[in-house]
Structure 1
Amino acid sequence: MQSTYTEGLNPEQKKAVLHHDGPLLILAGAGSGKTRVLTHRIAHLVEEKGVAPWQILAITFTNKAAKEMRDRLERMVGARVHDMWVSTFHASCVRMLRSHIEKLGMGYHSNFVIFDSADQQTVVKSCVKELRLSDANFPPRGVLSVISNAKNEMLTSDRFQSLNAADYRLSKIADIYTRYQRILVQSNALDFDDILMLTVQLFEKHPDVLTSYQDKFRYILVDEYQDTNNVQYLLVSQLAKRYRNICVVGDDDQSIYKFRGADIRNILDFEKDFKDAVVIKLEENYRSTQHILEAANQVIKNNRGRKGKTLFTQKTSENKVTLLAAGDEHEEARMVAEHILWLKSTTDYAFKDFTILYRTNAQSRVFEDVFLRQAVPYRIYGGLRFYERKEIKDIMAYLRLV
Structure 2
Amino acid sequence: MTSAVPGLAGTLEDRILGGLDAEQREVASTLTGPVCVLAGAGTGKTRAITHRIAYGVHSGVYSPQRLLAVTFTARAAAEMRSRLRDLGAGNVQARTFHAAALRQLQFFWPQAIGGTLPNLLDHKATMIAEAARRLRLSTDRASIRDLAAEIEWAKVSMLTPANYLENAQGRGTPGGFDLTAVARVFQSYEDVKTDRNVIDFEDVLLITVGILQEDPKVAATVREQYRHFVVDEYQDVSPLQQRLLELWLGDRDELCVVGDASQTIYSFTGASPKHLLGFKKKFPEATVVKLVRDYRSTPQVVKLANELLGSRRSGGPVADAAWAKPLQLVAQRPAGPEPRFMECPDDEAEAAVVAGRIRELLDAGVQASEIAILFRTNGQSEAYEQALASAGIGYQLRGGERFFARKEVRDAILQLRAATRAAADTAGEPLGQLVRDIVASLGYSDSAPHGGGALRERWESLAALVALADELVANRGPEFSLAEFVNELQERSVAQHAPTVQGVTLASLHAAKGLEWDAVFLVGLSEGLMPISFADTPEAVDEERRLLYVGITRAREHLSLSWSTARTPGGRANRKPSRFLDGLRPDTVAGASARSRPLTRRKPAAPASCRVCGSMLATGAERKIGRCRQCPPSYEEQTFEALRQWRKDEASSAEVPAFVVFTDATLTAIAEARPASLEELATLAGVGPSKLEKYGEAVLAVLADDGHGDGS
Residues 54-133 of structure 1: matches in 2 within 5 Å?
A: 54-77=65-88, 81-82=90-91, 84-101=92-109, 109-117=115-123, 120-133=124-137
Q: CA shift at 1:370, angstroms?
A: 5.0
- The residue identity in structure 1 corresponding to 2:187 is T
Q: CA shift at 1:242, angstroms?
A: 1.8
Kindly tell me: are residues 37 and 318 of structure 1, through their superposed partners in 2, closer, same or farther at Cα, counting changes over 3 Å? Answer: closer
- Tell me how many residue pairs correspond in the alignment: 376
Distance 1:72 1:384 in 2: 26
Q: Does 1:222 align with 2:231?
A: yes
Q: CA shift at 1:115, angstroms?
A: 0.4
Q: CA shift at 1:195, angstroms?
A: 1.1
Is the Cα–Cα contact under 8 Å of residues 100 and 110 in structure 1 kept in the other structure? no
Distance 1:352 1:76 in 2: 26
Kindly tell me: are residues 164 and 362 of structure 1, through their superposed partners in 2, closer, same or farther at Cα, counting changes over 3 Å? Answer: closer
Q: Deviations over 1:176-208 (max 9, x none)?
A: 322322332343321011111222222222344
Kindly tell me: are residues 50 and 341 of structure 1, through their superposed partners in 2, closer, same or farther at Cα, counting changes over 3 Å? Answer: closer
State the match for 1:281 in structure 2: 290
SS in 1 for 2:41: coil
State the match for 2:178 in structure 1: 169
Q: Does 1:252 align with 2:270?
A: no
Long gaps (5+) in structure 2: 5-9, 313-319, 402-452, 454-712
SS in 1 for 2:94: strand
1:320 to 300, 313, 338: 338
| Greater mean deviation of Cα atoms: 129-138 or 198-207 | 129-138
Distance 1:319 1:162 in 2: 52
Residues 225-304 of structure 1: matches in 2 within 5 Å?
A: 225-303=234-312
Kindly tell me: are residues 342 and 44 of structure 1, through their superposed partners in 2, closer, same or farther at Cα, counting changes over 3 Å? Answer: closer
SS in 1 for 2:212: helix
State the match for 1:392 in structure 2: none
| Greater mean deviation of Cα atoms: 84-93 or 349-358 | 349-358
Distance 1:179 1:246 in 2: 39
Identity of aligned residues (%): 32
Kindly tell me: are residues 44 and 332 of structure 1, through their superposed partners in 2, closer, same or farther at Cα, counting changes over 3 Å? Answer: same
State the match for 2:533 in structure 1: none
Long gaps (5+) in structure 1: 389-402
Q: Deviations over 1:118-168 (max 9, x none)?
A: xx2222222222222222499432222221111111112333367689x98
Distance 2:49 2:65 in 1: 16
1:194 to 188, 192, 203: 203
Is the Cα–Cα contact under 8 Å of residues 227 and 255 in structure 1 kept in the other structure? yes
State the match for 1:154 in structure 2: 158
- The residue identity in structure 2 corresponding to 1:38 is I
1:310 to 316, 328, 342: 328
2:374 to 351, 357, 365: 357
Distance 1:263 1:185 in 2: 30
Distance 1:263 1:338 in 2: 40
Q: CA shift at 1:101, angstroms?
A: 3.4
Is the Cα–Cα contact under 8 Å of residues 388 and 395 in structure 2 kept in the other structure? no
SS in 2 for 1:101: helix
Distance 2:369 2:111 in 1: 56
Q: CA shift at 1:372, angstroms?
A: 6.0
Q: Does 1:15 align with 2:26?
A: yes
State the match for 1:381 in structure 2: 397
Q: Deviations over 1:330-356 (max 9, x none)?
A: 4533443454566678x5668776532
Is the Cα–Cα contact under 8 Å of residues 99 and 110 in structure 1 kept in the other structure? no
Q: CA shift at 1:377, angstroms?
A: 3.0
Kindly tell me: are residues 351 and 321 of structure 1, through their superposed partners in 2, closer, same or farther at Cα, counting changes over 3 Å? Answer: same
Distance 2:336 2:154 in 1: 50
Q: Deviations over 1:8-34 (max 9, x none)?
A: 111111100111221111112222222
Q: Does 1:135 align with 2:139?
A: yes
SS in 2 for 1:363: helix
Kindly tell me: are residues 204 and 377 of structure 1, through their superposed partners in 2, closer, same or farther at Cα, counting changes over 3 Å? Answer: same
Is the Cα–Cα contact under 8 Å of residues 121 and 201 in structure 2 kept in the other structure? yes
Is the Cα–Cα contact under 8 Å of residues 77 and 95 in structure 2 kept in the other structure? yes
Q: Which has the higher helix share?
A: 1
Is the Cα–Cα contact under 8 Å of residues 31 and 61 in structure 2 kept in the other structure? no
Kindly tell me: are residues 110 and 58 of structure 1, through their superposed partners in 2, closer, same or farther at Cα, counting changes over 3 Å? Answer: farther
Distance 1:342 1:42 in 2: 43
Q: Deviations over 1:354-374 (max 9, x none)?
A: 53222222222333455566x
SS in 2 for 1:295: helix
- The residue identity in structure 2 corresponding to 1:95 is R
Kindly tell me: are residues 263 and 328 of structure 1, through their superposed partners in 2, closer, same or farther at Cα, counting changes over 3 Å? Answer: farther
Is the Cα–Cα contact under 8 Å of residues 153 and 268 in structure 2 kept in the other structure? no
Is the Cα–Cα contact under 8 Å of residues 385 and 395 in structure 2 kept in the other structure? no
State the match for 1:400 in structure 2: none
Q: Deviations over 1:244-301 (max 9, x none)?
A: 0110111112221122221122222222222222111112222221221122111123
Q: CA shift at 1:41, angstroms?
A: 0.9
State the match for 2:611 in structure 1: none
Q: Deviations over 1:40-96 (max 9, x none)?
A: 111122221432222201101122222222222233335xx43x4321100110112
Kindly tell me: are residues 33 and 348 of structure 1, through their superposed partners in 2, closer, same or farther at Cα, counting changes over 3 Å? Answer: closer
State the match for 1:25 in structure 2: 36
Q: Deviations over 1:288-337 (max 9, x none)?
A: 21221122111123456324422223321342222224455445334434
Distance 1:297 1:160 in 2: 38
State the match for 2:55 in structure 1: 44
Is the Cα–Cα contact under 8 Å of residues 29 and 285 in structure 1 kept in the other structure? yes
Distance 1:244 1:262 in 2: 22
Is the Cα–Cα contact under 8 Å of residues 268 and 307 in structure 1 kept in the other structure? no
Higher relative contact order (CA 8 A, sep 6+): 1
Q: CA shift at 1:102, angstroms?
A: 5.4
| Greater mean deviation of Cα atoms: 302-311 or 187-196 | 302-311
1:6 to 17, 41, 50: 17
Is the Cα–Cα contact under 8 Å of residues 223 and 248 in structure 1 kept in the other structure? yes
Distance 2:57 2:74 in 1: 23
Is the Cα–Cα contact under 8 Å of residues 130 and 192 in structure 2 kept in the other structure? no
- The residue identity in structure 2 corresponding to 1:25 is C
With structure 2 as the length reference, what TM-score do the two structures score? 0.48
